[in-house]
A = this chain, B = another copy of it.
């Protein structure tokens, strides 16, 4: 077994997708920001303010998905069909982030979904760090992908 992003001499290269068919592809990734319950309460409760941390993180994640090819050296630039980012409290101090990306193209959108989750998480960290320096970003992983030669994938439940 070998790594597709290295040539036979071990040098980094962008894999040639020229001969691959154009198909509808979709990927879902998730991750979580774990924080003090009080910090999560600051984000999710209280009047008109409640929207803006989540809205900012959602938009930062969507915009980052569009920048994936610029951030990850060997990613192909892609004309995304859609990106969606959701942030939901799933525990006393846990904010779970899910991103779905899709494209009609020659290569998958796993990296776009994972990048959207990562940057949405960093945005939450940034906006809350004055209140809680100990937040941790974790469990960033691919949940599912479809389309393309390698077939559909769904992560096994933990």
Contact = CB atoms under 8 A, between A and B. Distances in A.
- Copy number in the complex reads 6
A3 B131 contact: yes
A39 to B, nearest CB: 9
Counting contact residues on chain A (CB < 8 A from B), the size range is 35 or more
Interface string A59-89: 1101110110111111111111111111000
Contact of A49 (B6, B106, B139): B6
A74 B56 contact: yes
Interface of A: 1-7, 9-18, 24, 31, 38, 42-43, 46-53, 55-56, 58-60, 62-64, 66-67, 69-86, 102-106, 110-111, 114-115, 118-119, 121-123, 125-131, 133-142, 145, 153, 155
